[in-house]
Amino acid sequence: MTFEESVKKLEEMSEKIKNEDITLEEAIKCYEEGIKSYEECSRILKNARQKIEIYEEGV
């Protein structure tokens, strides 16, 4: 999954949780999916940061 896809999924889960008609079970599921998307975004950003640091060291 790309960074953009992960961010979009995180935004979708956030919007679903804001819905007043959502059940507790659905909210928990959306929260868990949102956490997974957040972790994926963090992983992608961490990898990008490491690549930039390696590049900067080589310059």
Burial class (CB in 10 A: 0-12, 13-18, 19+), 31: middle
pTM of the model as a whole: 0.82
Residue 52 is predicted with a pLDDT of 94
Three-state DSSP class for residue 54: helix
Encode pLDDT of 14-57 as tens digits. Answer: 999 999 899 999 999 999 999 999 999 999 999 999 999 998 88
Is the per-residue pLDDT at 59 higher than 80?
no
Cα separation, 1 vs 18, in Å, equals 24
Q: Which residues contact 15 (CB under 8 A, 6 or more apart)?
A: none
Task: Evaluate whether 14 touches 48 at the Cβ level (below 8 Å).
Answer: no
Confidence band (pLDDT; 50, 70, 90) for 8?
A: very high
